[in-house]
Amino acid sequence: MNTDKPSRRTQVLIIGGGPSGLLLSQLLERSGIETVILERRSREYVLGRIRAGVLESGTVELLREAGVGERMDREGLVHEGIYLAVSNRGFRIDFKHHTGGTVRVYGQTELTRDLYRARDAMGGTILHEVDQVRIEDADSGSPRVSFRHEGRERRVECDFVAGCDGFHGVGRQTIPADVRREFERVYPFGWLGLLSPTPPVSEELIYASHERGFALCSMRNPNLSRYYLQVPLDDATENWPDAVFWDELKCRIPRDAAESIVTGASIEKSIAPLRSFVAEPMRWGRLFLCGDAAHIVPPTGAKGLNLAASDVYYLWQALKQHYLDREDEGIDTYSARALARVWKAERFSWSMTRLLHRFPDQSDFDRRMQQAELEYLETSVAAQASLAENYIGLPY
C-alpha cells in the first residue's frame, strides 16, 4: 500500500456524509465557506438506510434555506395532528388548532438524495469509503484529520472539524474522557419495524398504547407504509413472519383502523433498540459535534433527525459569523445553545416513551398512572397544546 500522506486544506472538515453532514456542507458552501466531507460508507449504502421522516417546521424552513426544499414541498405530506390510541380507542391532537403549526412527512432517504444532488450540483467534495479516521490537534488553532482512502494515507488540514459521524464515530471519542460527560438511559425493549408497499391506514400517524405493548402506524408516502411494534430487546425478525406481524398490529391499534388496514408483503423488517443519550460538551477546541454523535433519542417523539438539523443550524450560524463577521460568540456559545434544545427534546421523547410503552418491571400503580395521564391528555386543552408545541418543534 502506498503510505505517503498527500495533504489538502479546507476551511471546515466534516466527518459523516449522512443528512446532518450533507446539510451542514450545503449551508456553509452557499455562504461561501469551503468544506470537505468524509464518509465511511458508500453512497449506495447511505441512500439505502431506512430512517424516520417526520420533519419539524424549523427543519422544513432550514431545508428551504439550504436550497433543497423543492421536492420536499412538492411530495412531502403535511400533517396537522396525530392520533393517540388507548386500548383500541383513539383521540386526536390537533397541531394546527393548538399552535398554528404542522409537521411534514418526507422520508430521510429522499431528503438525503436531495442533499447529494445539491452537493453534486455545486461540485462539493465528498470522499466515500474512508477509514482509520483520526482527528489531530483539535484543541489547537490548526486541527487536521488523517484517514485512509483508496489505499492511500491522506490528511486534510482545516480551521474546524464537525463530527457528524453518528453514535459510534470518532468525533465524540476524540474529546478527552476527563472533559466529556455522558448521560444514558437504555430502554428494555425495541421497535420492530415493517415497511410495506401499501397505502397507510391513516392520513396521520397513530400512536397506540395497549396492554400488549406499543404500536405506531406511520408512512413514507401515499403508497409506502411503515409500522412498528414494541418487542423484547432479545427478539428477532425471524419470529415475526408478515402474517404474525399484521395480526399483532391489528390487536394493538384502534378497531376502525384494524378493520380497514391494507396488508401486504414486507420489503424491509428490522428491530431497533431504544436509548436516550447525551454527551456534554458538544464542542472541544475547534471540534464540534452534531446529531447522533452527541445525542440519541428514542423515536417516539420524532426528534432524531430534527435535533441534528437544529445542531446544524447553530453551527452554520456560528461559522458564518466567524468567517463573515469576524466574531466568535456563536462558536463560544454553540455547545450551550445546542444542549439547551437537546435536553428539552430528550425530555419530550422520554416522556412520550414512558407514557405509551409497557415496561417489564411496571407495577399496577405505574400502569394506572399511564392511564390517568392519557385520560388527562384526552380532556385537557393545556396538555394537548403542550404536546403539540413540542411535537412540531421548539424554536431554535
Written as one string, the DSSP assignment of 247-268 is HHHHHHS-HHHHHHPPP---SE
Q: Which residue has the cell 490528511?
A: 155
State the pLDDT confidence band at 2, using cuts at 50, 70 and 90.
very low
Q: What is the DSSP string of 50-65?
A: ----EE-HHHHHHHHH
User: What is the average pLDDT across 171-178?
Assistant: 98
Positions marked catalytic: 79, 207, 299, 303, 391
User: What is the average pLDDT across 63-82?
Assistant: 98
pLDDT of residue 3: 44
Percent of the residues in the chain that have a pLDDT greater than 70, as a whole number:
98
- In terms of C-beta density within 10 A (0-12 exposed, 13-18 middle, 19 or more buried), how is residue 61 classed? middle
User: What is the average pLDDT across 102-106?
Assistant: 97
Above 90 in pLDDT, residue 244? yes
What are the two backbone dihedrals, phi and then psi, of residue 193, each rounded to the nearest 5 degrees?
A: -105, 140
Percent of the residues in the chain that have a pLDDT greater than 90, as a whole number:
94
pLDDT of residue 50: 73
Above 80 in pLDDT, residue 121? yes
pLDDT tens, 9-21? 999 999 999 999 9
pLDDT of residue 89: 85
Among 107, 76, 103, smallest CA distance to 389 is for 103
Select the more confidently predicted residue: 164 or 7.
164
pLDDT tens, 296-327? 999 999 999 999 999 999 999 999 999 999 99
Answer yes or no: are the C-beta atoms of 208 and 370 closer than 8 Å.
no
Above 60 in pLDDT, residue 4? no
Per-residue exposure over 171-181, b if at least 16 CB sit within 10 Å of its own CB, e if not: bbebbeeeeee
pLDDT tens, 122-150? 999 999 999 999 999 999 999 999 999 99
User: What's the grid cell of residue 325?
Assistant: 463577521
Answer yes or no: are the C-beta atoms of 353 and 188 closer than 8 Å.
no
pLDDT of residue 47: 93
pLDDT of residue 6: 58
Domains defined for the chain, CATH in brackets = 7-79+103-184+275-353 (3.50.50.60), 187-273+358-392 (3.30.9.10)
Average model confidence (pLDDT) for the chain?
A: 96
Answer yes or no: are the C-beta atoms of 280 and 181 closer than 8 Å.
yes
- pTM exceeds 0.75: yes
User: What is the average pLDDT across 188-208?
Assistant: 97
pLDDT tens, 255-292? 999 999 999 999 999 999 999 999 999 999 999 999 99
